[in-house]
Amino acid sequence: MAHYTITIDETGETYRCSDQETLLVGMEKLGKQGIPVGCRGGGCGVCKIEVVAGDYTKRRMSREYVSEEDEAAHRVLACRVRPAGNMVLRVIGLMKKNVCRQAE
Amino acid sequence: MAMNGVLRPGHAALRVLDLEEAVNFYGNVLGLQETGRDKQWRVYFKAWDERDHNSVVIREADKAGIDFFAFKVDGKKTLEKLDADLRAYGVSTERIPAGEMLETGERVRFQVPSGHMIELYAEKKDVGNGISYVNPDPWSAASEKGIAPTRLDHCLLYGPDIEKVQKLFEEVLGFYLVEHIVLEDNKTDLAIWLSTSIKAHDIAFVRHPEPGKLHHVAFLLDSWERVLRAADLMSMNHVSIDIGPTRHGVTRGTTIYAFDPSGNRFETFCGGYQTYPDHQPLKWTMDEVGTGIFYHDRKLNDRFLSVVT
Ligand code: FES
Ligand SMILES: [Fe+2]
């Protein structure tokens, strides 16, 4: 099991996430904030992020919220993505406003 | 009270992102019984104490959510009458032939103004609950497997025009309003709970800009203790929990909201008072909406109004 450093671009928040864990659950487990938490199953779209840098693996996510173009441009759901290296990401989901306000 | 017309929720058809993962979840974690698979690759389940062949049907798709929610009616005559009544009311209906769903009779399908597909049907094969119809035992091994709810209980759907939905359910299908949340204007409802029985709700709607969304499908447990046992099983199985165990102010039910592996919210629900069509509806105001939804927290979580599939 490998651990990587995840950086949330807007807030500068960083956390360590294992390659066995999704970006979202890895963040939550450490009591960190930044990515909005919804269903954790790739269905609701609230955890949408843009991967600015870094490698990852992914599972199927709802086409309702992630188009093929999104996926190709690394706009993905944090609850369906596991790190395969250090990553930098930006939060772009619908609830972004709520969470960034809380995190400030 | 005579039970006639629309009897109860009959089946929910859900979309999942990974079929085998969902089969494991619904079968082994929630503890429903798999009752069949069809040529469209749909998988059928029922809760242990349900007698009809199926109440949950899942299929793999590229998005999560609900395809349709159905009610059983008390006979073929009622089905014909309600189909005619719906058409007379201006709702177009579609007949889906018997057998299109395993062991299920002809269905009448229609869309309600919130964007959801609702179905009515009169016949589904009685496969029993595994306990004899003569001198029955109170429970069986199946009632202890996984969370093991006794039945599909209700659903909460999100979409626009819920006042039109309410009118249709009341005027054509014979439902009645049990509770509602009224917005600050003291006129418009944010949410409505409707019953076709003496249950505090058989279906509920929340006003929401996007049509056709699923908030949750609920399964009934017999006691608060079983709700706590469900919470333990969820944690043991790494199920994504939304909130709970807690109580709803609305309906008084005890509850956990959690998500299936594709992000569809489900509820393990116990209690809820009994109601009758002559009861005055209970009203909640926006300053107490948190108490209405989550009685102990007394506030909504971020997810209640925004996380749907
Ligand atoms: S939290 Fe729902 S899609 Fe990620
Ligand atoms: Fe519910």
Domain ranges of chain B: 6-127, 151-306
Is the per-residue pLDDT at A98 higher than 50?
Answer: no
Q: What is the pLDDT of residue B3?
A: 82
Structure tokens at A40: 């954790």
Is the per-residue pLDDT at A103 higher than 50?
Answer: no
CA separation for the pair B181, B248 (Å, rounded): 13
Is the per-residue pLDDT at A83 higher than 80?
Answer: yes
Contact (Cβ atoms closer than 8 angstroms) between residue A64 and residue B65: yes
Mean local confidence (pLDDT), A14-24 = 97
State pLDDT tens for residues A23-71.
999 999 999 999 999 999 999 999 999 999 999 999 999 999 999 999 9
The one-letter code for the residue type at B155 is C
Per-residue confidence at A96, pLDDT binned at 50, 70, 90? Answer: low
The one-letter code for the residue type at B44 is Y
B6-127 to CATH, choices 3.40.640.10, 3.40.50.1100, 3.40.50.2300, 3.10.180.10: 3.10.180.10
Q: What is the pLDDT of residue A93?
A: 80
Residue A7 lies in a domain: yes
Q: What is the pLDDT of residue B4?
A: 87
Q: How far is the CA of B39 from the centre of ligand 1 (A)?
A: 30
CA separation for the pair A52, A74 (Å, rounded): 8
CA B39 to chain centre: 25
Residue A31 lies in a domain: yes
Q: Do A41 and B264 touch (CB under 8 A)?
A: yes
SS3 at position B191? strand
Q: How far is the CA of B77 from the centre of ligand 1 (A)?
A: 44
| Omega before residue B149 within 30° of 0, cis | no
Contact (Cβ atoms closer than 8 angstroms) between residue B158 and residue B211: no
Residue A24 lies in a domain: yes
Residue A104 lies in a domain: no
- Tokens 């002559």 sit at which residue? B278
> CATH number of the domain that A72 lies in?
3.10.20.30
| Counted domains in chain A | 1
Q: What is the pLDDT of residue B172?
A: 97
- Residues in chain B, total: 309
Model ipTM over 0.90: yes
Residue A58 lies in a domain: yes
CA separation for the pair B260, B240 (Å, rounded): 7
Percentage of chain A surpassing pLDDT 70?
A: 89
Catalytic residue flag (residue B154): yes
Report the CATH superfamily, name and number, of domain B151-306: 2,3-Dihydroxybiphenyl 1,2-Dioxygenase, domain 1 (3.10.180.10)
Question: Taking the C-alpha atoms of B131, B133, B138 and B142 in order, what is their torsion angle to the nearest 10 degrees?
Answer: 20
Q: What is the pLDDT of residue A100?
A: 41
A-chain residues near B262 (CB < 8 A): 41-43, 62
CA distance to partner chain A, nearest, from residue B261 (Å): 5
Which residue range(s) make up the domain with A75? 3-99
CA separation for the pair B251, B191 (Å, rounded): 13
Q: Which atom of ligand 1 is nearest to the CA of B263?
A: 2
- Low-confidence residues of chain B: pLDDT under 70: 1
Q: What is the pLDDT of residue A95?
A: 66
Lowest mean pLDDT among A12-16, A100-104, B268-272, B303-307: A100-104
Using CB distances shorter than 6 Å, the residues near ligand 1 are A 24, 37-40, 42-47, 77, 79; B 263
